[in-house]
Amino acid sequence: MNKIPKLSIHRPIRSFVRREGRLTKGQQRALNELWDQFGINNDPSALDLDKVFDRNASRILEIGFGNGYSLAQMAKSNPDKDYLGVDVHRPGVGALLLLIEGHDLNNIRLICDDAVDVLKHRLADNSLDRAQIFFPDPWHKKRHHKRRIIQPDFAALIAKKLKPGGILHLATDWEDYAIHMTEVLGQSTEFKNTANNGDYVPRPDYRPLTKFEQRGERLGHGVWDLIYKKI
């Protein structure tokens, strides 16, 4: 008897692993009580950001906001701008909701989903003024480099969502990943490096210095900021 051949199922390469971790009582309370106000539920429909934020303003997307500290600080310092945070880890979402509550912020909205799916299906082309990705997983082993979020297809996708002149801001504490980023974006015909000397720029004032970076600086670790403008 002939064996039935196995179906070949193509699974997209993800840039993340869902390490859920344990929610604190405060994070769980924030998810229960604040999500309806500040969270955006997952569905395939396109977002009307003017309706989401109930105004028209500059729009900044942050992918992978971690515990949300820097995103909350930026939103607090720039009440005239709207911030959309996307992350897959619920403890981080809960932590950011607590910061939103504590600082009485109304210019942040959150999505707990894969950023690639959000970009493809939920955000209109030419809808963002800035996209920022700070300290993404470096996937430092060579065999895992294909899982890095900064890849040619991703650069092309995010370029579609940025307005002409829009900014893509990246930061990493892995020099090898910084080099990889410059190589990927250097091949893009849609972005121009804003650095005046070399590939990297000093940390701009609007990006808060995190405790992680402060600890790294004391240990002599480097941080590389890259800022590209959509042509």
Task: Write out the catalytic residue numbers.
Answer: 137
Going across the sheet that includes 58-63, the strands are: 108-111, 81-86, 58-63, 128-134, 162-172, 224-230, 191-193
Nearest CA to 15 out of 118, 110, 98, 97 is that of 118
Q: Which two tokens stand for residue 59?
A: 């729009």
Strand, coil or helix: what is 49? Answer: helix
Q: CA 55 → CA 36, 58, 94, 161, distances in Å?
A: 18, 10, 25, 19
Strand, coil or helix: what is 117? Answer: helix
C-alpha 83/C-alpha 57 separation (Å) is: 10
CA quadruple 71, 72, 77, 82: dihedral positive or negative? positive
C-alpha 194/C-alpha 189 separation (Å) is: 14
How many CB atoms neighbour CB 176 within 10 A?
A: 12
Residue 54, sorted as left (phi over 0), alpha (psi -120 to 50) or beta, turns out to be left
